[in-house]
Structure 1
C-alpha cells in the first residue's frame, strides 16, 4: 500500500516545487500573499503543506485561516498546485490525507476550501461566496508583441479595442501606489458598479490594504480617465510567477458607453505582455456552477477565441456536524432575506430580488 502523508514546507519550498515542474504560481499561493493575510482583520497565514506519496511530492498548497461569524475555516485559494496529474483518484487521495491532517492540526476549523477539477461526493458547494470553473485566459507569451496579441482576439474584440483607442477622450494609465484618499473616487465607481450589477462589495480599506500589502510587484492598479481627469473605469491586477489575474473592476455608465473597459483590458494586457508576464486571466465567466457570471461572458470572450476550464472551489468539511449546522443556518438566513425582499416588493408594487452579498472566490 502506498504511503500517503501531509508534511509542512519550509519557506521557499512551495515556490521551488512549482518552479521545478515549470508551473505557474498564483499570487494567493505565494509568500507575497502572507502580508495581505496578516494585514486584514479576521485572517492570517495558516502554513504551507505538501502531499507526499511514497515520499514523492504530488501537490503543494498554502492555507489562509479565516474567521467568519462564529466559525473558522481554511482557504487554499487557487490551491492545491499539482506537481503530477490531478486525476480524480489523485484528488480524492489528496483530500483524504489533507482532512486527516487538518482535523488534528486545526481543531477549530469547520471546513477547508480548496480547488478541484473533478466533482466528487466529498465536495460541497460553497457555504458562502461564489466560484467559477470557466474563465478566459489571454496567452501573452504565445504572441510576439502587442500587434499579434491584438490579432489573436476575436473580430469584435479587435474592433472594440481599436474604436476605444481612437477615442481621444479616453486616457489609460497605471496608478499603482495610489493612497487611500486617491482611491476614494475610484471606490465611488465600484459602488456604482455594484448597484448596477447587483453584487456586494467590501469596504474601501480592503482594496487599498490589498494593494499596499502586495506592493507594486504583485498588486497593480490601472485606470482609464477622461481628458478632464475623471475616472471612467479601473481594474486591480494581481501578478504571480508568470500569471496575472484581473481581480477587481469597476466602471461608470459613461465609461461603459465610451468603451473605456475595452481600452482598459487592452492597456493592461499590453503592459503585462511587455513586462514578460505569460498569461492574463480575466477571472471567470458563467457555467452551470456560476450562472451569476452570465453578464460578463460576452465582454470577456471577445478578447480570446478560447474558453479555459479551471478547477472550481469547493468546501470539504472537517467537522461534518458543525458544517451541516452552518449550512442550515445560512439557508435559513437566505430564506428570511428573500421573504423580506418579497414583502417589500409587494408593498412597493415592484419586483425585488436578493442581491449577492459575496464576491467571487472570497
Structure 2
C-alpha cells in the first residue's frame, strides 16, 4: 500500500464521505455523539480524521473522543475506523500506524488509543477496564414482519407469539423520559447487574445519554398491568426496558435491564419484537443486538443464548487498546492488576 497520510476533517466533509459507502454510520462516529461526550465529566470530542492514500482516495475514517483517566489521557474511537469494505490485515495495520503517528504528533499526552480491528496483530492489547465484543446478532429490518419472525429459531417464534398474546403486558415507547421517571428503570438495572454479575454506572450517566442524544436515544419499556375493579387495566409497573440508539438507518441495543418478573413472562421477547417493528416502520434497516459470546469474550455466552433466538452470529471488528506510550501503558496494566488483586 502506498504511503498514507491523515487529515483532520470537519463534520460535514467527514459525514459526506462516510455516507458515500452506503452503510449506516455508527452513532459513536457521528457528530450526534458529541453532545453526550460533552455532557459527561472527563470526556470530550477530539477530532474526526480521514486516512488518505497517495491518490487522495479515502482509505478509512475515524472519529476519536478524549477520555481523562486517573492521571492519564487516552482516545477512543468507538466503532472506528470505518471502512468502505472489510480491509485485509496489511491495509488495516497501515491505516492504524498512520493514525498513531498523527496522534503522537498532535496529542503527545495520549497514552493509548482504543480502536477497533478485524485482524489480530502485534501491538493490539486487550482492553484495560471494559468488555468489547467481536460477534453480534443483526436483524435485517428490510424484510416483512412475517419474514423477520420466520427467521427466528423455533423457540424464538414460540416465545414471541406467546408474549404478544399476554393481555397483561404492554410495550411502549417512553423516549424523552425525565431522570425522575428513569429511576424506576434504574432499580431494575441494579437487580439485573447483581443477578448477572456486571458493574453499572451511576444513574446520571444513563439519564445524561437520554437527554443529550435526544431523538437518537429511544427508551422502550415493558410493563405488567393489573386488572382494576371494573375490568380495566391499571397502569402497570416496569419489568424490562431497553435504551436503543438509532442513527443513519441503523439501530442498536445499548443498555437493557429486566427483573425476575420479566424473565417469568418473556417481557424481553415482547420488547425486542416491539422495537423491531417500530423501528422498521420508521425506516431503520438493520438492528444490532450488541454482542454475543466468542472465544475472545466467553463471558457474553449467557446473553448470546437469549439473542440467538433472533438470528445467527455476525463477525465484527472488536475493540483493542493500542499503546502510544508502551512503557506508560504497561505501568497502567500492572497497576490495574494490583488493584484487582487487592479487591480479591
TM-score by length of 1: 0.91
Q: Give the structure 2 partner of residue 352 of structure 1.
A: none
Q: Give the structure 2 partner of residue 61 of structure 1.
A: 62
Q: Give the structure 1 partner of residue 145 of structure 2.
A: 146
Q: Give the structure 2 partner of residue 276 of structure 1.
A: 283
Q: CA deviation at 1:85?
A: 4.1
Counterparts of residues 37-116 of structure 1 (less than 5 Å)? 37-54=37-54, 55-116=56-117
How many residue pairs were aligned?
Answer: 334
Q: CA deviation at 1:148?
A: 2.1
Instruction: Output the CA distance in 2 between the equivalents of 1:154 and 1:26.
Output: 28
Instruction: Output the CA distance in 1 between the equivalents of 2:280 and 2:85.
Output: 28
Q: Give the structure 1 partner of residue 206 of structure 2.
A: 207
Conserved? CA contact 1:17–1:83, under 8 Å: no
Counterparts of residues 184-223 of structure 1 (less than 5 Å)? 184-216=183-215, 218-223=216-221
Q: What do the CA deviations read for 1:100-127 (whole angstroms, capped 9, x no partner)?
A: 1101111111100000000001111111
Give the match's secondary structure for 1:83. coil
Q: Give the structure 2 partner of residue 359 of structure 1.
A: none
Q: What do the CA deviations read for 1:27-53 (whole angstroms, capped 9, x no partner)?
A: 000100000000110000001001011
What is the CA RMSD across the aligned residues, in angstroms? 1.0
Q: 1:92 to 1:8 in 2, by over 3 A?
A: same
Instruction: Output the CA distance in 2 between the equivalents of 1:74 and 1:265.
Output: 33
| Structure 1 counterpart of 2:258, from 246, 251, 256 | 251
Counterparts of residues 1-362 of structure 1 (less than 5 Å)? 2-54=2-54, 55-141=56-142, 143=143, 145-216=144-215, 218-227=216-225, 228-304=235-311, 306-338=312-344
Q: CA deviation at 1:58?
A: 0.4
Q: CA deviation at 1:88?
A: 0.2
Q: Which moved more, 1:72-81 or 1:225-234?
A: 225-234
Instruction: Output the CA distance in 1 between the equivalents of 2:160 and 2:133.
Output: 26
Q: CA deviation at 1:134?
A: 0.4
Conserved? CA contact 1:232–1:260, under 8 Å: yes
Q: What do the CA deviations read for 1:310-341 (whole angstroms, capped 9, x no partner)?
A: 00000100111110110111111111212xxx
Q: Give the structure 2 partner of residue 358 of structure 1.
A: none
TM-score by length of 2: 0.95
Instruction: Output the CA distance in 1 between the equivalents of 2:86 and 2:187.
Output: 44
Q: CA deviation at 1:92?
A: 0.5
Q: Give the structure 2 partner of residue 341 of structure 1.
A: none
Q: Which runs of 5+ in 1 are unaligned?
A: 339-362
Give the match's secondary structure for 1:224. strand
Give the match's secondary structure for 2:11. coil
Give the match's secondary structure for 2:2. coil
Q: CA deviation at 1:98?
A: 0.8
Conserved? CA contact 1:79–1:114, under 8 Å: yes
Give the match's secondary structure for 1:249. strand
Q: Give the structure 2 partner of residue 350 of structure 1.
A: none
Q: What do the CA deviations read for 1:222-257 (whole angstroms, capped 9, x no partner)?
A: 000011410010000001211100000000101111
Give the match's secondary structure for 1:128. coil
**Which portions of structure 1, spanning 4 or more consecutive aligned residues, are displaced by more than 4 angstroms?**
none
Instruction: Output the CA distance in 1 between the equivalents of 2:14 and 2:244.
Output: 22
